[in-house]
Amino acid sequence: MSFVNIRGVGLQAINPTTSSGVAIYSDGFFIPHETAIADEYFDVGQVEVLRGPQGTLVGQSSTGGAIFVTSVRPTFDGKTGYLLQSVGNYGYTKTEAALNVPISDQLAVRFAGNFYNTDSFYQDIHVGDSPQITQLQPGNADSQSGRIGASWQPTSSFSVYIKYDTTTRKGDGYAAKNYIELAGANNNIDPRLANPFVISYDQPSWDKYRMSTDYRGGQLGCYRIRRSAIPDRLPAR
């Protein structure tokens, strides 16, 4: 979960009915909730941060300001690309790559992908009922993102850009910790819960969404998003 604030204005609590005070746009598409802000941004070409209020430019949810994240578009300058690889502890791996291919003087495509994995920082001891699924790790992440874009420019004054974007994120749910357990006031259930990295929580989640197409020339835009979350488990306590 991520919270974005500009000059102290934004959002600092999880509330599905409350919008952030900072409007965030990814390739022109508004991200309405903080659960999607933390998704992986890859092959980024430009980031704009505007202090608020920005209601005239972007409308609602922009009292604190607005952030525009724009991905790299296909170019006709030649075949280019890159590969970035990161590794770390707790099973952390991240691979980001992109490839730009001009097919002709008028048509170019660009492929980009991001693959991210990490284990949980926490130990789930499953106090109470026995877990129906063993070896779950609340707080882990397994994310795959891909993008393909095509630019067609038959004349210097007319261009069409079409993009398909998909992200699949899997995990065993967000790790939650009760402050009472940290204070030691209610640890008669299991003394191990006084450890900040020991939890009793079990809630897998699944998210997937796709966006968008952008048609330029006549200044016509079209955006589509699909998102779903399927919790398969409830808190174990």
Q: What is each CA distance from 136 to 116, 125, 205, in whole angstroms?
A: 18, 10, 12
SS3 140: coil
Is 201 in contact with 172 (CB distance < 8 Å)?
no
- Global pTM? 0.73
CB neighbour list of residue 28: distance below 8 Å, 6 or more residues apart:
68, 70, 212, 214, 221, 223
For strand 22-26 and strand 65-71, is the pairing parallel, antiparallel, or unpaired? parallel
Per-residue pLDDT of the chain (237 residues; tens, 9 = 90+): 567 888 888 777 666 667 778 888 888 888 877 666 767 789 999 999 998 888 887 877 788 889 999 999 999 999 999 999 999 999 999 999 999 999 999 999 999 999 999 998 888 877 765 555 566 778 888 999 999 999 999 998 999 999 998 888 888 777 777 677 666 555 566 777 778 888 876 544 444 433 333 443 433 333 333 433 333 333 333
For strand 107-118 and strand 123-124, is the pairing parallel, antiparallel, or unpaired? unpaired
